[in-house]
Structure 1
Amino acid sequence: MSNATVPLTRRSVIALGAGAALPALAQESKGFLRRPWPKGQATPPLDLPGYDGPRWKLGDAHGKLVLLNFWATWCEPCRDEMPTLELLATLYEKQGLVIMAVNQRETDAAIKRFMDQMPISLPILRDADGLTSRAWGARAFPTSVVVGRDGQARFTVVGQVDWNGPEARQWIATLL
């Protein structure tokens, strides 16, 4: 589908008003919107309990590239994206990539049902009250934030991405 035939969505209209029309429309046609982390905005802290593992803090991964994927079990694009995140984690783990799946405001029972249907090996963190997701700007799902080896957020991707496609792999390879 060419950009000329992409229907204008609310996000596209907002992007037009913000002067970011062409990049936003081009990415919107792919189903996601990638944007740099806002200049001058500090990287929020992250300290969450694991679903069936230990508590995890962003500081624990200092020196590694971190991809935080904010998701929910009811979100179909999140479910579709999960296998590509899992493969990306496997491919780049030895180079220092850490992927954490941050589940937003769901119960252990909901996560267990999801895991029974789609077993994944990515570590799952529980954002039970949604405050961490909000602090990281995750207002739509899926939202991913990539944090550099220095602990500073680099960019956000809103929407479903094929994390094994050439574009997404380039984003990661550049920071590794």
Structure 2
Amino acid sequence: MSLRLTRRTLLLAAGVGALPVAHARALVRPWPADWAVPSLRLPDLQGLEHTLEPLRGQVVVLNFWASWCEPCVAEMPSLLRLAETRANDGVIVLAVNYQEGADKVRRFLDTVLGEVPGSMPVLLDRDGAAAKAWTPRVFPSTVLIDRDGSPRWAVIGELDWTGEQASTLLAPLVAGPAPGQRR
């Protein structure tokens, strides 16, 4: 692990730079400008590999979760609703599972959502490296990425993704220009 990631992880865990939020279970912070954007290359439940590069031009809601995490279970239906209702706005939700097998993840999704969602790709972080690179390993953790592929917000903890706070966070990202356009 690099010194930068160690420092970043400690700062995230301590809540340094945190903004006050109305939702008591979520801590919302801007993504620090001096932190590098980690790579992401993970398989989905069908074994197809996903990266962030092809998603430039869309707003990415990168959510890290686990089936044993009660706040993750509570948050999952609102993530799916966000994926379904904001797809036409160029919003894509990637649900990254932390270190669980595909069969267990499918059973969880069937139980909690009644289906394995087609509108929300579910990725498998089998070794936990992606969660380690992107989050303080507190679940759920979500990173909001703008249309240029730059992380803008980190949300640590459960958030109602169909609520006012989520809309406030997403609105400027959705309204932002596509890559290459002038701001």
> TM-score surpassing 0.5?
yes
Unpaired stretches in structure 1, ≥5 consecutive residues = 1-10
CA distance in 2, matches of 1:19, 1:158: 13
Shift of 1:41: 0.7
Match of 2:97 among 98, 103, 106: 103
Q: What's the counterpart of residue 157 of structure 1?
A: 155
Deviations 1:72-108 (A, max 9, x none): 0111110110111111111110111010000010112
Aligned partner of residue 123 in structure 2, secondary structure: strand
- The reply to whether residue 59 of structure 1 matches residue 53 of structure 2 is yes
CA distance in 2, matches of 1:138, 1:102: 14
Deviations 1:23-50 (A, max 9, x none): 4xx4386211000111211111111001
Contact 1:85 1:99 (C-alpha < 8 Å) held by counterparts: yes
> How high is the TM-score relative to the length of structure 1?
0.83
Segment drifting more, 112-121 vs 153-162: 112-121
Contact 1:48 1:125 (C-alpha < 8 Å) held by counterparts: yes
- The reply to whether residue 143 of structure 1 matches residue 141 of structure 2 is yes
Contact 1:66 1:98 (C-alpha < 8 Å) held by counterparts: yes
Q: What's the counterpart of residue 8 of structure 1?
A: none
Amino acid across the alignment from 1:38: P
Shift of 1:124: 0.5
Unpaired stretches in structure 2, ≥5 consecutive residues = 1-10, 175-183
Aligned residues: 158
Match of 1:45 among 20, 39, 46: 39
Sequence identity (%): 40
Amino acid across the alignment from 2:147: R
Shift of 1:51: 1.1
**Cα RMSD (Å):** 1.9
Shift of 1:138: 4.0
CA distance in 2, matches of 1:83, 1:50: 19
Amino acid across the alignment from 1:51: L
CA distance in 2, matches of 1:116, 1:29: 28
Bigger CA radius of gyration: 1
Match of 1:125 among 108, 123, 142: 123
Q: What's the counterpart of residue 76 of structure 2?
A: 82
Aligned partner of residue 27 in structure 1, secondary structure: coil
Contact 1:70 1:138 (C-alpha < 8 Å) held by counterparts: no
Q: What's the counterpart of residue 5 of structure 1?
A: none
CA distance in 1, matches of 2:156, 2:116: 21
CA distance in 2, matches of 1:138, 1:89: 24
